[in-house]
Homo-oligomer: A and B are copies of this chain.
């Protein structure tokens, strides 16, 4: 891998780095929640130590199904960045960038669209599911249909070797590698890099309603930016065991969301094990557990909330950080694009 830096004399200096490149990111459609933390943010905080990590705020992708709400997308760019900083993503270690400011991604997407058939796009299981969920039917916006191609451009423009994704996103990685292989074969090059998926070991954090997925649209999310009061309210209304009506009733631990959260966030493992036993036997009320979870979550969220408030005092500084990361990414993107255009005979001079 090569890293491009410019020294004071404006000559390019190439510095060898053995770190593997990772691309990850979020669509700025709302603030991040505990599900994001468990599923990916936690992982990124580790990855930034061992990898060369790019984190993309995917505003262009967010617009594919939010094109009628551009202000929402705009506003959430800063909110997502604040969430990143709050949980400990370090802009010195991770390069955070704004997708729409890298025109090379759009250029690469257009080239890739030639290498993918309409049929292949329609066959993508992730897209298929989302078409169903969003009830697009045949009137699916073209931009939405082809966002996997755009994702292939996101990934390959920084030559990522690793992309952390949920299992449901594997078809997208497969599509990317198909494009990479077709491109490299067609244009007799190895300038594009195949990518591997990094699937988190931890199962997905359920929503507060016990549903398998925590999501903004499902209204079952605890946000990293929620106030203590809000967190308490959300935990108090959490799904437990619907048959556990009286304190003395025996309760079920499996699928009981409060226990699922305690397993994730409560470091006092032995105590949690004892509580589970007591709950199963009967004699342990939901409220005791929920109060404990509120305390545990507060211990976790409070420092995040404080850091968030600190950074939120100076939004321009956060934006400057994003612009600097974007600038850095553009150097890399321009280099990839130069190689791409070279092999595609689009190098006019």
A-to-B contact residues, CB < 8 Å: 59-60, 63-64, 67-68, 70-71, 73-74, 77, 98, 100-101, 103-104, 106-107, 109-119, 121, 138-146, 149-150, 186-187, 319, 322-323, 341, 343-346, 348-349
Contacts and interface: CB of A to CB of B under 8 A. Distances in A.
Nearest to A121: B142
Contacts of A106: 103, 106-107, 109-110
A322 B346 CA distance: 13
A68 B116 CA distance: 13
A155 to B, nearest CB: 16
A244 B59 CA distance: 68
A142 B146 contact: yes
A117 B140 CA distance: 5
5 contacts: A67-B186, A113-B143, A116-B143, A118-B138, A323-B349
Contacts of A187: 70
Dominant secondary structure at the A interface: helix
Given A67-B186, A110-B106, A139-B119, A319 B345 contact: no
Contacts of A322: 348
A250 to B, nearest CB: 53
Contacts of A101: 348
A139 B110 contact: no
